[in-house]
Amino acid sequence: MLRAVTGGQALLPPPLLLLLSALLWGPAAAGNPELPTAVNITWSSINFKTILQWQPKPSGYFYTVEIHGHTSDTKRKCILTTETECDVTDLLRNVNETYTAHILSVPSSGMDNFEEPPFAVSEKFTPYKQTILGKPEILNYTQKGSELNVVFEDPLTPYTFPNGSFESIRDIFQHDLQYKLSYWKDQSSGKKERTTTSHTFEVSVDGTKNYCFYIQGVIPSRRENRYGQESTVLCTSVGRTILDEYGAEVFIIIAVIAIAVITLAIVLSVVLCKRKKAKAAREKEPLNGI
């Protein structure tokens, strides 16, 4: 069929012919260098869960992802997909290995041809060096006297031990992993920091003030992505009274309203009383008239 189009060359001007052939046969042409290859290939990886994304949406062809490592065999995933992303977590189990992904553009009729499909190559990716540390979960925090205490746990990875329980990021990073606590007096901006290699922080604070804080993982040996995602910000509340919570204004407003209501009640009862008397006086009048 390709030959038939080629045969038409004499009848059609070359640009028109090219367009026609691209429209009719472009996506189906095996090994055709014009078959679109993936662009904007990105690795997104948090706590070793890693997803490859690329563009554009395919039309008339498929993508297949191939993961190449230095020491491991090439493996395929998301075979003949029409998606533009692929979860490759399970192919990157060797976390210290440097991987590249090939995104193959496979023609719809790709099953019966022997040519290598065109492909695009991703940037290199080393999970151990590049995965982003996710938010740590804060389990408990207290401020007793002048000590602020924060207990948290390691984020889990998608990888499991032989017994089936999930490995945490500490199981993988071990002594490369620390955590940083950032804390400050509530409503002030002067931040202080503390790091730990354990799962708790104990810091001395001003026992009469409330403090706010968050924590995040740190890999000190990294140059990039050294700091992980920040946990949610939490604040302590020591010796808080209702007045602290709602402010003095609320009490003033309540007092003003109360005074107004009382005043109104007095004024109203006085007015009603006067009217009643006046009415009684008026009712007596006709009698007087007779």
Ligand X SMILES: *[C@@H]1O[C@H](CO)[C@@H](O)[C@H](O)[C@H]1NC(C)=O
Task: Assess 188 for contact with ligand X (CB under 6 A).
Answer: no
Site string for ligand X, 149-168 (x = CB under 6 A): ------------x-x-x---
Q: Least separation, in Å, of the C-beta of 232 and ligand X?
A: 27
**Closer Cβ to ligand X, 39 or 271, answer by number:** 39
Q: Residue 81: count other Cβ atoms within 10 Å of its Cβ.
A: 15
User: What is d(CA 28, CA 266) in angstroms, rounded to the nearest whole number?
Assistant: 92
Tell me: does residue 95 bind ligand X (CB under 6 A): yes
Cα 17 from Cα 12, distance rounded (Å): 6
Asked whether position 20 contacts ligand X by CB under 6 A, the answer is: no
By CB under 6 A, is residue 128 in contact with ligand X?
Answer: yes
**Using CB under 6 A, which of 6, 9, 44, 55 touches ligand X?**
55
Nearest to ligand X of 114, 161 (CB atom): 161
Q: Does 56 bind ligand X (CB under 6 A)?
A: yes
Strand partners, 178: 218
Rounded CA separation 77/228 (Å): 28
Beta carbons within 8 Å of 17's beta carbon, 6+ residues apart: 5, 8, 9
Query: Does 40 engage in binding with ligand X (CB under 6 A)?
Result: yes
- Element housing 110 (H / E): none
Count of residues of this chain found to bind ligand X when the rule CB under 6 A is applied: 10
Could you tell me the two tokens for 222?
Answer: 């990294």
Q: Specify whether the CB–CB gap between 22 and 59 falls below 8 A.
A: no
Q: Which is nearer to ligand X, 25 or 128 (CB)?
A: 128
- Kind and range of the H or E element at 253? helix 248-289
Per rule CB under 6 A, is residue 39 in the interface with ligand X? yes
Residues that bind ligand X (CB under 6 A): 39-40, 55-56, 95-96, 128, 161, 163, 165
